[in-house]
Amino acid sequence: MKKAVFLTHPHSLQSEITGGVQLCSQEFVHVIQGIEEISLENYFIPYTKNFYQRFLIKMGMENYSHFNIRKEKKALLHFISDRAIDIVFINMASGVRFAKPIREKFGERVRIVLLSHGNHSGDFLHLLTKPIEKKWMLRKWLDRLRLGNLIATESDFRVRWLDGVVALSETEKQIENWYGAKLVSFLPRRLYSDFLELHPMPGRIGFVGRLDHPPNIQGLMLLLEAFSSLEKKPEFRLVGAPNKYGEALQKQFSFISYLGELSDRQLEEELCSWAFFTNPVWWYSTGSSTKLARAISWGLPIVTSPAGMRGYEWKAGSLLVAESPTSMAQLVMKEAWDLGQINYWMEQTRLVAASGLEEKTLSDRIRYTFQ
């Protein structure tokens, strides 16, 4: 039996509001626990309180410095030695710098695998080329400097300190190969059935997600603008934080009802009345579109984009797919008032939920990175 540790910040596993980070972290733990030869335990690390590191984060110059490696490594290395740990799974790319002291201390005896939710350079490149707000020339120059540092750090740790990387999409698997990672595996989202008892209201659709995440807010804005150009409007329900973004959108678009950030129970109650769950993702941002897995598990009628389906594999059923914001708005206007079509797409989603990859296949994808 191999002993393994899941190295993570506690909020990645434990939070009242379950977001994409929590869903992916919980799935990683679930799949690893299904590997017969592994005994897994958690090791929690706090975010840094170091003034210099926090200053870099505040100034937008952070380069994988969310954790104080110098302060935390002694206890971590003692834990690995004391427990005779064979494999360290680093949850999220933000913790990648822990790989160096582990490798320097234990050499090849301890395997080190990064469970990546997406590289920091990916979303930062999106911010750099598609900024939400206008930037001064100095800020643009600093952003380009930071992007280079991020990419150099990402490649360096894959070449020198990590044994393997698990990516959340096929696209990112190829990026990891380009960085020079030794062993790379793509772990698609685990699909499961936790169907809600739906009573959809024709014309009521919505979106759930972080509103300060640039690909989310920008993709949502394009969809809302497409709806605003149509004569007939849907009843659009918006769920997410921070409030200032949702309130601003509600003022801008009269057909929006902003509900704030809901608990899991409140969200499930709200979703039962939606005719369609929209997933307007128009760029290949980091990781996978985790909210899609949740929507599939609930058995909701879904309209998504090709980029919004990155990180998934299934064998039966289909989702309503739109190539652009305009086509998504038009598809919704065509389908969301017809209960027969709403029920058809609900059944398609439930076929998808029941036809994901088997647990053993998912376990083998992770096992590949440490054997």
Q: Indicate whether 138 and 228 sit together in one domain.
A: no
Check whether residue 218 and residue 163 sit in a common domain.
no
Assess if residue 194 is contained within a domain. no
Is 197 a member of any domain? no
Same domain? 181 vs 215: no
Q: Would residue 263 count as lying in a domain? A: yes
Same domain, 85 and 170: yes
pLDDT in tens, 218-237: 999 999 999 999 999 999 99
Asked if residue 315 is part of any domain, the answer here is yes
Same domain? 344 vs 222: yes
Give the pair of three-digit tokens for residue 323. Answer: 């190539």
| Pair (344, 363) in one structural domain | no
Structural domain harbouring 63? 2-189+359-367
pLDDT at 234: 95
Instruction: Compute the distance between CA of residue 131 and CA of residue 339 in angstroms, rounded to an integer.
Output: 39
What CATH number does residue 59 fall under?
3.40.50.2000
Together in a domain, 276 and 142: no
Q: Do 181 and 236 belong together in one domain?
A: no
Evaluate whether residue 195 is within a structural domain: no
> What is the sign of the dihedral through the CA atoms of 337, 259, 257 and 219?
negative
Instruction: Tell me: do 185 and 56 sit in the same domain.
Output: yes
* Total-model pTM: 0.84
Same domain, 280 and 322: yes
Closest CA to 214 of 126, 93, 92, 116: 126
Q: Domain check: are 111 and 214 in the same one?
A: no
Q: Which of 335, 328, 337 is nearest to 227 (CA)?
A: 328
Report yes or no on 215 lying in a domain: yes
Q: State the pLDDT at residue 17.
A: 62
Considering the domain boundaries, does residue 158 fall inside one?
yes
Q: Within the chain, which residues score under 70 in pLDDT?
A: 16-18
| Residues 142 and 238 reside in one and the same domain | no
Q: How far apart, in whole angstroms, are the C-alpha atoms of residue 8 and residue 22?
A: 11
How far apart, in Å, are the Cα atoms of 186 and each of 23, 109, 173, 174?
16, 24, 6, 9
Decide if 199 is inside a domain: no
Percentage of the chain lying above the pLDDT 90 cut: 81
How many structural domains does the chain have? Answer: 2
